[in-house]
Amino acid sequence: VKYQDIKIETKILLKIYNQIFDERSNLYLFFIYKCILHLKDKGELIFITPRDFLKSTSSIKLNNFLFSQGSITDFIDLGDKKIFKSAQPNCAIWRFEKGNFKRNTNCLKEFNCINGQILFTKTHYFIPFSKLFFVKVGAVSGADQIFTNEKFGNMEFVCSSTKKTKKTKKMIYGIYGKTCKYLIQNKEILLTRKIKKFNENNWWQWGRDYYKSDLERIYVNTKTRNKNPFFINDCKAYDGSILAIFPKFKCDKKLLQEICDKLNEIDWEELGFVCDGRFLFSQRSLENCLLNENFKDFLKFS
């Protein structure tokens, strides 16, 4: 249950947990926390919950709390299997044992919590991603079916299909849209977009802009089944399906390609970024993750 959908009387009861949670927190996160609070030492619980708590920003404090109280000893990722009739989140079955700090799991991996992200790993990860790179989200129009237009578009954007097709898509962007006859015809629809408030002064604008820079960058889809998800493209504009990864050091094309190759070599599934064969990346989860020794040589540049 999303926080905004929680009943008012329930929200009043949840206020005492404000130090752990905020208005981004799903109700199931409160449930996990309350269960662990009541669990006796050496006691165990088996949960069936959405799996996104492993990486979500809203569960960072909860994950640190879990790690301080014991260990997740078993974890079964259910992927895209539908186990609830009225909801379809990606779920997992997991066992927690309070007071168990051996950090061993029955899947022969080490249980860890780093920067609020839960990991089950065999490889040693020790280089902070954020020490070498920063990540930016792409632009969101709120009405791609209107702004995407081969005839009237004035700007090329890296999009979800660019990795596969090597092609960008042409979109209507910026002040040009204010006088674009095609866009004017759709003005009333654009005014009703939900992504933010629009009026006579901004109806042609996008809901969210992208980070503008001439710096070299590597792109990745936020959701993809491509086995090598990271890629390079000369286009500097990118939409909301894309994350842009910028090195924090000077980087030429050759070095950028080397970095891109190494990012594609990482076992992202082990780091918890893969669900049912699909990569799931976000700005915060990437910036908070750790990299392996293959990135050690890049530290001298940072």
CATH code (residue 296): 3.90.220
Q: Are residues 113 and 244 in the same domain?
A: no
- Residue 169 domain flag: no
pTM higher than 0.75, yes or no?
A: yes
Query: Total domain count for the chain?
Result: 2
- Residue 159 domain flag: no
Cα 286 from Cα 282, distance rounded (Å): 6
CA distances from 52 to 81, 90, 164 (A): 15, 8, 27
Q: Are residues 116 and 127 in the same domain?
A: no
Q: Are residues 134 and 257 in the same domain?
A: yes
Q: What is the tens place of the pLDDT at every residue in 31-48?
A: 999 999 999 999 999 999
Q: Are residues 97 and 111 in the same domain?
A: yes
Cα 206 from Cα 219, distance rounded (Å): 21
Q: Are residues 239 and 269 in the same domain?
A: yes
The DSSP code sequence of 56-81 is: -GGGHHHHHHHHHHEEEEEEEE-TT-
CATH code (residue 8): 3.40.50.150
Q: What is the tens place of the pLDDT at every residue in 203-233?
A: 999 999 999 999 999 999 999 999 999 999 9
**Domain residues for 241?**
123-138+210-302
Q: How many CA atoms lie within 13 A of 59 on its CB side?
A: 23
Q: What is the pLDDT, as a whole number, of residue 104?
A: 84
Q: Are residues 132 and 227 in the same domain?
A: yes
- Residue 203 domain flag: no
- Residue 154 domain flag: no
Among 64, 95, 121, which residue terminates a domain? 121
